[in-house]
Amino acid sequence: MRSIFALAALTLLAACDSPDVKPRNDDNTLTAVWVNVPGADENSARYNGVFNAAGDTVRVTVPQKTATGLAINLQELKLRGSIPSDAEARPAMGLMNMSQPFKIDIISGRQNVRSYWIVVTQSK
């Protein structure tokens, strides 16, 4: 009986394959940026950013109120964006104060850093 368990354990260990190691990506590109308003429908209160010609600054213009009449406060908006799957953003995208321009770093899987400036303004 003991030999059956030993044989089963050996078979189980031999059958396990190590996972494939995926190479890390050099890509640290921010390809899209948008802002959502907390408390509003994320699709109807989505404001897309526009990159400058150099691709290092993104400008987002938001109105004073959403289409449903909710006042927009630049000090409390959700930043969203598209980055490569193994990259990270610092600071992390999410709820933040956007009343002043700020820098966001996109760090690739190989730790290469690219910085972008995010500028959010409110139309009059």
DSSP letters, 40-95, are S-TTTTEEE-EE-TTSSEEEEEE-SB-TT-PBP-TTSEEEEEE--TT-EEESPSSE
Is 119 buried (19+), middle (13-18) or exposed (0-12) by CB count in 10 A?
A: middle
Choose among 80, 20, 19: nearest CA to 45.
80
* Domains delineated in the chain: 24-122 (2.60.40.2340)
User: Which residues are registered as beta bridge partners of 46?
Assistant: 36
Amino acid at residue number 49: G
Distance CA 71, CA 65 (A): 4
Place 42 in a pLDDT band, splitting at 50, 70 and 90.
Answer: confident
For residue 60, pLDDT over 90 is answered with yes
Tens digits of residue pLDDT in 64-94: 999 889 999 999 999 999 999 999 999 999 9
pLDDT at 124: 77
pLDDT at 73: 95
pLDDT at 41: 86
